[in-house]
Structure 1
């Protein structure tokens, strides 16, 4: 049992260490919606897309800035989450190195909520413009109507959280290396990526339980076979 407890302590310590460089949000997949077949479409926004079946991990450099009165949470970046399942639980995590201290906030919004909220649609439009999205003079039909899709917008807010004597660095902080991960839950209980870890811990725990019982029985039998001798007077 001591070895098992030691292993468990190491795992817990590593989880705490990882948690220091991970921010996440958990949500349910929305009901599928049919988007109008007009341009500009969601694809015209030129947002990076996460899809659990095709691209569940996005490695990128995220621009950041120091908090200010007008932007207390730094810069905002937008992403599309596609291929979701209605009612299924998902988790989006953002991971970054400890050498780049940054505060992150993640929010998932439905398409309707973003389009109905002036502050959100303005932020999305500004981000899309920075990615040099094409301009459209008027709306037009884009062809066949797309099938219903379960889609969400992901907003990531990033603020640098360090101090440097380098004035240039303080005015223009370097982009942060991040991994953005879209992780579906298994039976809405456990993130899919943690499945192998959970199986491993279960196997180790079960093996340790039976091994400790076997060792205890063996020690007990040895003690019964060799009773202690009486001391001579």
Structure 2
């Protein structure tokens, strides 16, 4: 147990030094038909995360909390190709050198389109995105005219530092982030943690046998020393 605790401590400390992490956990919803009519999800030009492309490296604009935006700026993404009933985790990782607070929320398409402030936020974000011709590659597979288990992800980002540099306070720089979609194995453990779990299990099993062997060897040495003392 001490070996396992030490390994977990080392892993957590190394992760803390390199980056900060915020996450949300959810279940894949029921698949819904996506009508091939305009405007459609494709017209939103959102970045999409799926099992085929689970990691998105990007920059997020941030602002300091205000009365109109207590959680900073909002960004929207698609989570597509989900499996109904499967547990997923979405993580956002960013450098510890960029103090930022993040909030992650997932919504069904119906929930967003039926909630005025959510659809307004989504439309405002979509209007700020460049046209599809100037983007790298967002949705290589068209979503409309299909039936999928899909969710919309809202990321809220607020700068959380103070500086005497007035320009930095007025115009906080974008934050480099990785947004990761991570499915669970048997709805118990994120897939990305499986190698760590296997490694810790292997080390724990090896430590069990090594400690047993070491104990028996030390016991035999003590008994041998005791026997020699009695013989003398």
User: What TM-score results when the alignment is normalised by the length of structure 2?
Assistant: 0.88
Alignment correspondent of 1:103 = 101
Alignment of structure 1 residues 84-103 onto 2, 5 Å: 84-103=82-101
Q: Distance in 2 between matches of 1:19 and 1:82?
A: 29
Partner of residue 161, structure 2:
162
CA RMSD of aligned residues (A): 2.2
CA–CA distance in structure 2, aligned partners of residues 6 and 221 of structure 1: 29
Correspondence 1:79 to 2:54: no
User: Number of matched residues?
Assistant: 220
Rounded Cα–Cα distance in structure 1 between residues aligned with 2:159 and 2:9: 32
Tell me, in whole angstroms, the C-alpha distance in 2 between the residues paired with 1:19 and 1:190: 23
1:82–1:151 contact (8 Å) kept in structure 2: yes
| Structure 2 counterpart SS, 1:70 | coil
- 1:190 maps to which residue? 189
CA contact (8 A) 1:4 1:208 kept: no
Structure 1 pair 80–3 and aligned structure 2 pair: CA distance change class (3 A): closer
What is the Cα deviation at residue 24 of structure 1? 0.3
Q: 1:48 to 1:18 in 2, by over 3 A?
A: farther
Structure 1 pair 72/2, CA: closer, same or farther in 2 (3 Å)? closer
Structure 2 counterparts to residues 48-197 of structure 1, below 5 A: 48-52=47-51, 54-132=52-130, 146-197=145-196
1:220 is displaced (CA, Å) by: 1.1
TM-score (normalised: structure 1): 0.88
Unaligned runs of 5+ in 2: 133-143
Inter-CA distance 114–5: structure 2 relative to 1 (3 Å threshold): closer
1:13 paired with 2:18, answer no
Q: For 1:167-209, what per-residue CA distance to the aligned partner results, in whole angstroms no more than 9, with x for missing partners?
A: 1111111000000000000000000000000000000001001
